[in-house]
Structure 1
Amino acid sequence: MEKFDPNSAYRFMETIVKEIGNRESATDSELKAAQRIKNWFEEFGLSNVKFDEFTVKTSRILKEEAMLSDGNRISCKAVGNSLSTPPEGVEGEVALLESVSREELRKVKGKIAAVNLRLNKEKFEKIVKAEPLALIFPSRTPLAPTTYRSVMAEWTEKENIPIVSISHDDLLSVIKGRKRLRIITEVERFTAKSRNVIGEVRGEMEDEEILVGAHYDTVRNVLGAHDNAAGVAIVLELARVFAKEKPARTIKFAAFGCEELGLRGSFHFAENEENIKNLKFYLNLDVHGILVGTQAATVFGPEELKALVQLTAKELGVAVDISTEVSRSGGSDHMSLAFYGVPAVMLSRVGGAAYLMHTDLEDLRWCGPEAFAPVGKLCQTMVTRLANAGEFPFEKEIPSKTAEALEKRCREAGIEKKKKMEKRETV
């Protein structure tokens, strides 16, 4: 069997970043990327290559300004799905909000609240009901650039408010200075189409499948090198290699759309019973290619699956930090599949330039082919063994503790499990 080629994976990444560039969710640039991935799948010789379309609620930013009381501007990014300000904007004192306690919320009424906490739907609604003029989402650490962000469409169905993202350093200068800011935003909300790209290598068994996937979209304006052109590049290289094989089990490959809007593509896939009824395992690739960093794995499934990752990594000499905690897991497409009962593993590269994702600095300068070698070797070995095992080595189940944590996290995000999963047509 041909080995995973890290140089080939890096070339896929380069092509996506240099020839397509930004792939903002549910835009023409995302469609361009989907078509290129579909073409690659077909060139490799995958079977049943297709688009699976779905609709999403999204937004486009038409105006974003932030001005100090002396008239000087600071860089800001309007937050997707947020409310537009009046044409003249909103102006007020900036107050830090560190919790959603009654005492803290009373401090922000009639002010611009700088929100320094992790949000969910319930917390967001509490903050909006406290009647601040607008919200600020600062970047998480000093010296970090401004982050492009959006809020879940579900959060804004009842309550909404103008929101901008600014850098930690700019927020610090505001609260150390005159503490006043004027914000002007114009955000157009609409419904748009996106699509997943699916292909497969047919196996001899008709009732057992495995899936390898990554999201291909980005937040607006950024090149999305390590998040997630690199993850797609790993999927493409694995698809290229396995397309020449005849596995016992069918290996499906997926590039998911609109992950950055709340895992929309993978939820659309997982909600369709036809897609998951024979699916035994999902391998998710998100944030890769970074030269200075460490390898991490999040495992949602039986103990045997965790053992498989541990033993395979040790055998290959690949250092991996393994977690089974939902609270530690970054939001990515492995959560959607596990939410619907499919054991899943997310492999990712953490540390270093990973902290620059969703900013203007997320480009190829931090990446190189060497970063693809260990993860590629690990993926190829795991997929080969699972695809050809005489008996599948673990049950299709999610531990109750993990399932409960996933239910809680999705509920906090405003996502509910579909009660009836329907078969959908694809093109």
Structure 2
Amino acid sequence: MQSLDYEYAYRMAVLISERPRFTGTEGERTAREAIKEELEKHGYSVSLEKFSTKTYEVVESELVITEPYLGRVEASALGFSGETPAEGVEGELVYLENTDPVLIPEEDGWIGIVVQRPSKEGWQRLVKKAGGLVIAESTPYRGLSRVAVPYEWREKIGSLPSVYVKYRDAVRMLTARRARLKLTQVYRDVDTYNIIAEVKGYKYPDEIVYLTAHYDSVMGVPGATDNAGGTALLLALAKALAGFKPKRTVRFAFFAAEELGLRGSLFHVGSLNEEEKKKIKVVVNLDVHGGALGSSAAVISGPKSLRYFAEIHAKKLGVNLSISEDIMSSDGTSFVKHGIPAVNLYRSSGSGADIHTESDSPEHLHPLAFKVIGHYALHLVTELLSAEEIPFEREIPEEIKKKAEEYFAKRLGVDG
């Protein structure tokens, strides 16, 4: 039986997370070339799937408490949120909690303070009323987030220039009266690429099992656990399966631009015709891996029989796998949208507190983090590729289907 080289997974995770991999940057290109080279080294024929997406660059981000004058506060721009005039906007500071309507003033032009990034509905409430928005980090121990809202929010709903601040700075701002915010961003279309490799099944070539991970990171962040770790684990699976003769087709997909709204996987699945989609039996998606101290977990987006399949094999191997039935904010959900079940494997770890910040760095990684989940993933995939029949239905329960529809409609605001 094949075995997974977890030391190799660790080395690849460190290599991939040496630099940020934001969409359209040199770091992303370097990672793509390294992934392609590794796959070819293991004997795979690799294709690059080109697509275009929107990205952003932060030119200026400044937040100053002006009354009483307490000076500049370290702030991180929320990508695609919008821009202020060149001189910035100054206004009264208003605490809004979670964009609670009862706390929103009748007058316009103030700067709001919220405890988390608004939902699309919250965004709609604040646009045209707030001059800007300050988002507090969730704990006193977290660095500044480097994330974005979907570009559609700014284009279709309106501009709401927003920045993240550290928790303690947000608490300090509660006693202040006024602030000035400057935010300048530029937007552009870029070309990027999904990385695809496959091995045809010798008995059931028209039945396809997808193994997926995203290789991009958010802007300026090494993205060691999110998702250099998942990318490295997928490479380790490809290495373990090199030379293996599967009964059904296995397709490896390393997706780009996941952090900008699952853009790579949405493009890939959306570009397939209905007959090709029907060939896909299940997706095993790997997102957030490599955290030194943690445990194995799975989000099942599919029928109960798929959960039982995942659960039985975890017990068979002696793996403590925490399982939930839901959708995950990851590439597996792009397939669920089209009626294809997904098993999302991830590592629950304390390192998750640093995801999407500059602290998601290789120091979080450890070889042992890939051992158990890697052993389980390889076993699960081998079973799927070797079975005479797929042991679960290819269907999405109504509750999961509804959650997926709400996810794309409310959180992303895209049709895919």
1:177-196 correspondence runs (5 A): 178-196=176-194
Q: 1:143 to 1:101 in 2, by over 3 A?
A: closer
CA distance in 2, matches of 1:136, 1:197: 37
Cα deviation for residue 417 of structure 1 reads: 4.5
Cα deviation for residue 139 of structure 1 reads: 1.0
Cα deviation for residue 271 of structure 1 reads: 0.9
Task: Determine if the alignment matches structure 1 residue 288 to structure 2 residue 289.
Answer: yes
Cα deviation for residue 232 of structure 1 reads: 0.1
1:302-381 correspondence runs (5 A): 302-326=303-327, 329=328, 331-381=329-379
Q: Report the AA paired with residue 303 of structure 1.
A: K
Greater CA drift, 213-222 or 346-355: 346-355
Q: Give 1:272's aligned residue.
A: 271
1:170-209 correspondence runs (5 A): 170-176=169-175, 178-204=176-202, 205-209=204-208
How does the TM-score come out when normalised to structure 2? Answer: 0.94
CA distance in 2, matches of 1:394, 1:231: 25
Indicate the SS of the match to 2:39. Answer: helix
| Preserved CA contact (<8 Å) 2:302 2:396 | yes
Task: Determine if the alignment matches structure 1 residue 7 to structure 2 residue 4.
Answer: no
Q: Give 1:36's aligned residue.
A: 34
Q: Report the AA paired with residue 97 of structure 2.
A: E
| Preserved CA contact (<8 Å) 2:292 2:349 | no
Greater CA drift, 390-399 or 257-266: 390-399
Indicate the SS of the match to 1:94. Answer: strand
Q: Report the AA paired with residue 316 of structure 1.
A: L
CA distance in 1, matches of 2:336, 2:36: 25
Q: 1:314 to 1:179 in 2, by over 3 A?
A: farther
Cα deviation for residue 102 of structure 1 reads: 3.7
Cα deviation for residue 391 of structure 1 reads: 1.0
CA distance in 2, matches of 1:377, 1:161: 46
Q: 1:35 to 1:108 in 2, by over 3 A?
A: farther
| Preserved CA contact (<8 Å) 2:52 2:191 | yes
1:239-254 correspondence runs (5 A): 239-254=238-253
| Preserved CA contact (<8 Å) 1:137 1:163 | yes
Q: Give 2:65's aligned residue.
A: 68
| Preserved CA contact (<8 Å) 2:306 2:392 | yes
Greater CA drift, 109-118 or 259-268: 109-118
Cα deviation for residue 415 of structure 1 reads: 4.1
How does the TM-score come out when normalised to structure 1? Answer: 0.92
Cα deviation code 1:375-425 (max 9, x no counterpart): 10110000000001011111211111111111112111354546xxxxxxx
Q: Give 1:17's aligned residue.
A: 17
Cα deviation code 1:159-208 (max 9, x no counterpart): 112111111111111113x2322221110011111211000122112210
Indicate the SS of the match to 1:106. Answer: coil
Unaligned runs of 5+ in 2: none
Cα deviation for residue 302 of structure 1 reads: 1.2
| Preserved CA contact (<8 Å) 1:33 1:216 | yes
Q: Report the AA paired with residue 308 of structure 2.
A: A
Corresponding residue pairs, total: 410
CA distance in 2, matches of 1:101, 1:8: 48
CA distance in 1, matches of 2:227, 2:371: 17
Cα deviation for residue 122 of structure 1 reads: 2.7
Indicate the SS of the match to 1:394. Answer: coil
Cα deviation code 1:185-244 (max 9, x no counterpart): 110011111211000122112210101111000111111100100000000000111121
CA distance in 2, matches of 1:288, 1:102: 38
RMSD of the alignment, in Å? 1.7
CA distance in 1, matches of 2:21, 2:415: 28
Q: Report the AA paired with residue 136 of structure 2.
A: P
| Preserved CA contact (<8 Å) 1:282 1:337 | yes
Cα deviation for residue 334 of structure 1 reads: 1.0
CA distance in 1, matches of 2:314, 2:13: 24
* Structure having the larger proportion of residues in strand: 2
Cα deviation for residue 17 of structure 1 reads: 1.7
Greater CA drift, 94-103 or 35-44: 94-103
Q: Report the AA paired with residue 268 of structure 1.
A: F
1:118-133 correspondence runs (5 A): 119-129=118-128, 131-133=129-131
Q: Give 1:421's aligned residue.
A: none
Task: Determine if the alignment matches structure 1 residue 52 to structure 2 residue 49.
Answer: yes
| Preserved CA contact (<8 Å) 2:215 2:231 | yes
Q: Report the AA paired with residue 391 of structure 1.
A: E
Q: Report the AA paired with residue 246 of structure 1.
A: K
CA distance in 2, matches of 1:227, 1:238: 18
Greater CA drift, 30-39 or 221-230: 30-39
| Preserved CA contact (<8 Å) 1:259 1:265 | yes
Task: Determine if the alignment matches structure 1 residue 165 to structure 2 residue 157.
Answer: no
Q: Report the AA paired with residue 8 of structure 1.
A: Y
Q: Report the AA paired with residue 28 of structure 2.
A: E
Cα deviation for residue 361 of structure 1 reads: 1.0
Cα deviation code 1:12-57 (max 9, x no counterpart): 1111123xx100123232122112211211111113x111111112
Q: Give 1:233's aligned residue.
A: 232
Cα deviation for residue 116 of structure 1 reads: 2.2
CA distance in 2, matches of 1:108, 1:211: 52
| Preserved CA contact (<8 Å) 1:92 1:112 | yes
| Preserved CA contact (<8 Å) 1:95 1:107 | no
CA distance in 2, matches of 1:106, 1:32: 48
Q: Give 1:300's aligned residue.
A: 301
